[in-house]
Structure 1
């Protein structure tokens, strides 16, 4: 009688737990992205899925060790469990270095003394139990939790034009604009928007303030996380991406203006060439008219002399004819 090795129960349970956590992870992402599942609930479920994936990996490693020791079956199940758990743990593993390398902040601003205020978004942020401070400078005791300060962006454009460029850049980044107030009568322009992460859909709030005159404007940005206690550098990346997009928009605008300037120069040059040709044609026409006038004036006396000469020649011919006739008559007599 042939005896088959026993199936490892640890491998079986590791695969079951890994597949369950993977399904829970994917389902939570779909519900959070498309079905309106609240972010706090989704984050708790994410935590449960990550914990289940860790347990599945631990059971799979135990199963592989026992299989190596006693020759039990189930290595494929253990490897499948590790693969499924790795799909769940890929996101946290990718974020783990940032957890230790990035400062533990939930807000980034370019003006620590008077950051752009959340107006419409303040109501939403109050509903998720994160009160917004209108303007608070970070203290040394709260350097790890206070807002991180970045440099503002200065644009060599008017405030109105800069406002349009910033709004266009926000649209290109795919953020959702909540409110937009253009600058007018010396008042600063404000734009409030929200951004969601690509995979987990975690929402971040952004407030942009545009101040300046007719030739230069300053862009201040405030980016704050709504739910998480550590932004993993997301707010700083959000501000940097907005500034890069605005700079790209300014560069495109300058390029278009340069192209338009060159087109105007070419049009003006073509106009000058056309005007020069028309002036040359008019000058040649005047010269021809003057030449024709002089020619007529020179030909008129010559024609008159010719007519006088022809009259004299005809008169002399008649006289000769008469003389010949008289001579002939005299000969006949």
Structure 2
């Protein structure tokens, strides 16, 4: 006699739901990167799908406890996987954005020089009608950056080299960081590039200005988002990484 297959426990639907929610989030990410979905709409998808995943994870913890009490290994296993999967929508933003960056002021244009920030020129032709304005918003933005502890380390960089050498070094660092250099003028001390954020691929424009200062040069950099009203610290982090790499490379020359 053929024995009938053992009926699967309903708890398996917990991790199936979590996989479905993660698939929805992944599709929203892909749609934003391909330009098929506006980022604000995607954020709504992330919010509600993420909250649903957390709710299922919390319910799964209760199921896991029930499985322990009832000695039900299938329920325990399903609940454990559902709990782990439910943590992913929370862990990814914390890992990619950083918990401290969620406290960043709602600005999208960061510069080492708040009085006379470097101006965009070459990247202007790459911007569309719906993008943010390329000109600096003045004290309305500068005061928020100046008063935020998050940006205390965003300062001009002093290097003991010529303008041309510093500009070439800046171009080398930019390419190493994965930016697309769109304009470079070593003699004028100018560099413009385009960068993208890691997950959603938001476009952010970068301009580097090198000026002679005594026996060396001053390097200023400005990074601004094309479309977002707030950048969650991404422009500041880009500048921070650039300045750190520039310092390291200059010291190793």
| TM-score (normalizing by structure 2) | 0.75
Q: RCO greater where, 1 or 2, for CA within 8 Å and sep 6 or more? A: 2
Range 35-44 or range 154-163, more displaced: 35-44
The CA deviation string for residues 229-283 of structure 1, in whole angstroms up to 9 with x for no partner, is 5434332221122122222332343xxxxxxxxxxxxxxxxxxxxxxxxxxxxxx
Deviation digits for residues 145-172 of structure 1 (CA, Å, limit 9, x no counterpart): 9x95732112222212221111111112
1:48 offset after TM fit, Å? 4.3
Query: What residue is the counterpart of 1:181 in the other structure?
Result: 185
Alpha-carbon shift at residue 175 of structure 1 (Å): 0.8
Helix, strand or coil: the match of 2:211? Answer: strand
Q: Which moved more, 1:107-116 or 1:206-215?
A: 206-215
Provide the aligned length of Structure 1 versus Structure 2: 242
CA contact (8 A) 1:157 1:214 kept: no
- The 2-side partners of 1:226 and 1:19 are apart by 33
Unmatched 5+ residue regions in structure 2? Answer: 1-5
Q: 1:152 aligns with which of 144, 156, 162?
A: 156
TM-score for both structures, normalised by structure 1: 0.59
Is 1:117 the counterpart of 2:113? The answer is no
Question: In the alignment, is residue 58 of structure 1 matched against residue 58 of structure 2?
Answer: yes
In structure 1, the partner of 2:3 is none
**Partners of 1:140 and 1:245 in 2: how far apart?**
25
In the alignment, is residue 196 of structure 1 matched against residue 168 of structure 2? no
The gaps in structure 1 that reach 5 residues or longer are 254-333
Higher-Rg structure is 1
Q: In structure 2, what is the Cα distance between the partners aligned to 1:191 and 1:93? A: 32
2:222 corresponds to 1:218: no
> Any idea what SS the aligned residue of 2:79 has?
helix
Q: Is the 8 A contact 2:65 2:76 kept in 1?
A: no
SS at match of 2:139: coil
Confirm whether residue 137 of structure 1 aligns to residue 139 of structure 2: yes
Report the Cα offset of residue 221 of structure 1: 0.6
Q: Which residue of structure 2 lines up, in the alignment, with residue 165 of structure 1?
A: 169
Distance 1:194 1:49, change over 3 A: farther
Q: How far 1:104 sits from its partner (Å)?
A: 4.7
Alignment check: 8 A CA contact 1:63 1:75 kept:
yes
